[in-house]
């Protein structure tokens, strides 16, 4: 079954870091970019960045530069998103999503179920 399975809900204090995982199954993990998208409560979708699972190369949205780290472990078909220096504004559901086609696409046909991350003192 083609799917992305994300890690469970997290709670952090301001200033802390969080690392969310996204395990792919049912397809060749290295062939499709993985993107990270978040959605704050009652808000719209916000693109954070993407990783090329084959090369490990990444692209970040400008607002997350210096705070966001995306990595992957091809041996277990898993992508990771680490966000540090958390504030309450980072409270959101974090999704991983796969490109529609291999190569260069920027359109997402497969989504994880989301990881709720709450930042509160």
Position of tokens 């090329």? 52
Q: Which long-range contacts (CB under 8 A, 24 or more apart) does 63-69 make?
A: 68/36
Question: For another protein, which residue of 95, 115, 117, 119 counts as binding (CB under 8 A)?
Answer: 95
- Binding residue for another protein, selected from 16, 84, 91, 111, defined by CB under 8 A: 111
Q: Residue 95: name the closest of 6, 1, 3 by CA.
A: 6
**Minimum distance between the CB of residue 61 and another protein, rounded to whole angstroms?**
6
108 is a site residue for another protein (CB under 8 A): yes
Q: Does 112 bind another protein (CB under 8 A)?
A: yes
Q: Where are the alpha helices (DSSP H) in the chain?
A: none
State the minimum distance, in angstroms, from the CB of residue 23 to another protein. Answer: 16
Residues 4-43 interacting with another protein (rule: CB under 8 A):
35, 37
Beta bridge partners of 70: 81
Which DSSP symbol is given to 105? -
Is 116 near another protein (CB under 8 A)? no
- Whether the Cβ atoms of residue 49 and residue 71 lie closer than 8 Å to each other: no
| Residue numbers at the binding site for another protein (CB under 8 A) | 35, 37, 44-47, 50, 59, 61-63, 95, 97, 100, 105-109, 111-114
């Amino acid at each position: 079954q083609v799917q992305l399975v994300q890690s469970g809900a997290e709670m952090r204090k301001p200033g802390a870091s969080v690392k969310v995982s996204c395990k792919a199954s049912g397809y060749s993990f290295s062939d499709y970019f993985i993107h990270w998208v978040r959605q704050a409560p009652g808000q719209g979708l916000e693109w954070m960045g993407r990783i090329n699972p084959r090369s490990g190369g990444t692209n970040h949205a400008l607002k997350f530069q210096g705070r966001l780290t995306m990595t992957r472990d091809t041996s277990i078909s898993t992508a990771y998103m680490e966000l540090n220096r958390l504030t309450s504004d980072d409270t959101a559901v974090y999704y991983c999503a796969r490109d529609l086609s291999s190569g260069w696409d920027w359109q997402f046909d497969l989504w994880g179920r989301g990881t709720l991350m709450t930042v509160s003192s």
